[in-house]
Amino acid sequence: MIHSTDIPMMERAIILGRKALEAGEFPVGCVITSGSMVIGEGSRVGSRGEAANELEHAEIMAIRTCYEKIGTWPGKLGPLTCYTTLEPCLMCLGALLINGVKRVVFGYEDVMGGACGIDLTKRITWKSHEVPCEGLIMDYIYKDQEIEFVGGVLRDQCLELFEEFYKKPESKYLDGTLLKEYTLYHARK
């Protein structure tokens, strides 16, 4: 369900994604809100050159700014909403959940690494040769959390960022992957 703040907040995330693109980074922008108040923002860094890494995703950067702004666990403010230009990966989704996000609004689907379709209600069976827990069934840490996913908000504008990124010869991040191929040849069909 679309809320009245979804479009303006996604527009703000797109501006952050555009800034990342202009800096040569992967164009993911993220805004985290409590009600209509922005409490965190971030864009992707560390996606170019030899020092590229998989830690400084836009969602992680936005969570960090939440802590800087409010000085404590962001979930203390109540249910939070995350707006991001690209569907969050598993790492980012876990971090968002742990930090109180109950609603994720994204623009463009990540066909390669998006985590919004993961079933958080399944239980995990853990087997270990080092710990006496053969066949132990653990309740999944997120199983009782309710989270709403809203995809495709301003999708065309978000897709445009990723098309621009992948059309640049110097953009090597995730080069040769399903996401690049889908973005350039299939996403608009």
Answer yes or no: is 132 within a domain.
no
Q: Which of 59, 87, 109, 160 is catalytic?
A: 59
Q: Is residue 141 part of a domain?
A: no
C-alpha distance from residue 176 to each of 80, 116, 149, 164, 171 (Å): 35, 23, 28, 16, 11
- Looking at the domain assignment, is residue 135 inside a domain? no
123 in any annotated domain: no
Q: pTM of the prediction?
A: 0.90
Q: What's the pLDDT tens digit per position in 53-79?
A: 899 999 999 999 999 999 999 999 999
Instruction: Evaluate whether 176 touches 147 at the Cβ level (below 8 Å).
Output: no
Residue type, 13: A
> Is 47 within a domain?
yes
- Give the number of domains in the chain: 1
- For 59, the domain range is 5-118+146-187
Do residues 58 and 20 make contact, with C-beta atoms less than 8 angstroms apart? yes
pLDDT digits (tens, 9 = 90+) for 139-163: 555 666 788 999 999 999 999 999 9
CATH assignment of the domain containing 41 = 3.40.140.10
Our answer to whether residue 134 is catalytic in this structure is no
Pairing of strands 37-43, 80-86: unpaired
Q: Is residue 134 part of a domain?
A: no
